[in-house]
Amino acid sequence: MSNHSKIGFYIFFVPIFLWLFLLIVLPHIELFLMSLKYEDDMGNMAWSLQNYKEFFKEEIYWLTFIRVALYSILVTFLTFVITFPIAFYITKIVSVKYKGFLIILLLMPFWVSELVRVYGWMILLRESGVINYFLQSLGFIDKPIEMLYNDVSMIMGLVYTSMLFMVVPLISSLDGMDDSYIEAAHDLGASKIVIFFKIVIPYIAPGIVSGSIVVFMLTLGNYLTPNLMGGKNSLWFTEQIYNQFIASFNWNQGAAFGFLLLVLSSFIIWIGLKVTKQNLTKALS
């Protein structure tokens, strides 16, 4: 390596290294050590696996955990199902003239913070909200219905918040797919369903995987949306972590939960990659 490229290497490497080390690795080491400490009956801190045992002992903890995992998978799947037709329409059907405009239209809501967007949904859905007002004034219902604070509205909110992170990789991988593949398959006798499953899906699989990983992790670690749209019943694992840190002031327990969440998300992604026979580096490149 010449001196010149060495300097270039350090210019790029040092900030990344510092960022990863100071903001990710160091706090996690600290958290990990914290999670292994437990206050015994005498009020002394001692090394122990008690924090992790606590998780498996209390049903509510691991049930929340499983619930969050399953819902996150569901959200990821729903996000794909909803965004795929949009991405396909923008890249393959609409004329090139309107493509950029449509993509901007799609991105625009995401210039606003997640908090504002979630409040938007709340204004629509709450008991005194817009939808209830119209349903009532049109005479469909007598009493306003509470549409917030249930799993359905929470899932909907999570899907909505995640859409951008799925649609962008889908658009870019569909863009890279030559139309002639679809035409060739059609010409060789394939129906539209066969083309979808045998040609389009395998071709854009890396895009689907990278979108899914991001959506899944963001959903699993989302705090705001489940809290606001799911209310007290949302039972999201991040809330358990929050409660441990802030409400119970039990940092050791919270640290253990944080670690379990990390392990869980890594494990599910690993399983997902194995099942779909995809490669992480290929998907993210």
Residues lying near another protein in the complex (CB under 8 A) are found at 178, 180-181, 183-191, 194, 198-199, 202-203, 205
**Nearest to another protein of 177, 269 (CB atom):** 177
Length of the chain in terms of residues written: 285
What's the one-letter identity of residue 160?
A: Y
Give the contacts of 159 (CB within 8 A, at least 6 positions apart).
75, 78, 79, 82
Nearest distance, CB of residue 185 and another protein, angstroms: 7
Instruction: Report the nearest approach of another protein to the CB of residue 182 (Å).
Output: 9
Closest of 185, 166, 187 to residue 80, by C-alpha: 166
| In the complex, least distance from residue 181 CB atom to another protein, rounded to whole angstroms | 5
- For another protein, which is the closer residue by CB, 158 or 185? 185
Sole residue written with tokens 């690795």 = 25
Q: Measured from the CB atom, is 190 or 280 closer to another protein?
A: 190
* DSSP state string for 29-94: HHHHHHHTEEE-TTS-EEE-SHHHHHHHHSHHHHHHHHHHHHHHHHHHHHHHHHHHHHHHIIIIIS
To another protein, the closest distance from the beta carbon of 199 in angstroms equals: 6
Shortest distance (Å) from residue 202 CB to another protein: 4
Find the angle CA(259)-CA(270)-CA(69) to the nearest 5 degrees.
Answer: 55
Nearer CB in complex with another protein: 199/262: 199
CB-nearer residue toward another protein: 209 or 218 = 209
